[in-house]
Amino acid sequence: MDFIMENELYRESIFTNNMLSFIFENAEPVKVYTHYTHQESIAHLIMDEGFKYTESFYKTTQNIQNDLIVLNYKHNLYEHYGEFMIIICIPDELIDFVKKTINLSKLNLSIEDYICEKQLSQEETYILPPLFVKGYIKYKTGEIIHNPKFRLNYIFNEYIKKLK
């Protein structure tokens, strides 16, 4: 019975097994976020230069879990922002390290803000480096574009050296 329910659920989902594997299969436990954009050129720019944002990382990203019902629900809420779904991964180990070693409340920053590079401008702009951007999915066609700059295994050891 569960198998039938699962197949029915997959038929109602726009997400294929390949898409789900791309989003959720990582060597290490990570927090996965999505960001939608209308232009493929913007998706490529994010992969190349990093994810830029002002104010809050959570204003234009959604934390997702490996739960097809929740994933479909969040996708339905945000798909009108564009057909290109950017996948961002932040290792749990890095998040735990920052939580344990940095007093973020004193700095008035979120973990995402802390690990970003800041850009000096009139508005405070944060740039999450491209090594956190796994790639993107053209969800209407199912095409998956991998980011050659994505380096999940590099992030913890090398990136922590930059944070100290």
Question: How many domains does the structure of the chain reveal?
Answer: 1
- Residue range 26-45, pLDDT digits in tens: 767 899 999 999 999 999 99
CA distances in angstroms from 60 to 44, 47, 71, 105, listed in the order given: 17, 16, 16, 22
∠ CA 148-127-36, rounded to 5°: 70
Q: Is 116 left (phi over 0), alpha (psi -120 to 50) or beta?
A: beta
**Domain limits at 36?**
2-163
The model's pTM: 0.86
List pLDDT tens digits, range 52-88. 998 889 999 999 999 888 899 999 999 999 999 999 9
> Checking phi first, is residue 55 left (phi over 0); if not, alpha (psi -120 to 50) or beta?
left
Give the pLDDT score at 5.
41
Question: What is residue 158's predicted lDDT score, i.e. its pLDDT?
Answer: 67
Calculated CA dihedral for residues 21, 12, 139, 50, nearest 10 degrees: -60
Angle at 120 between CA 119 and CA 126, to 5 degrees: 30
Model pLDDT for residues 93-151, shown as the tens digit of each residue: 888 888 888 888 787 888 888 888 876 666 778 999 999 999 999 998 999 999 999 98
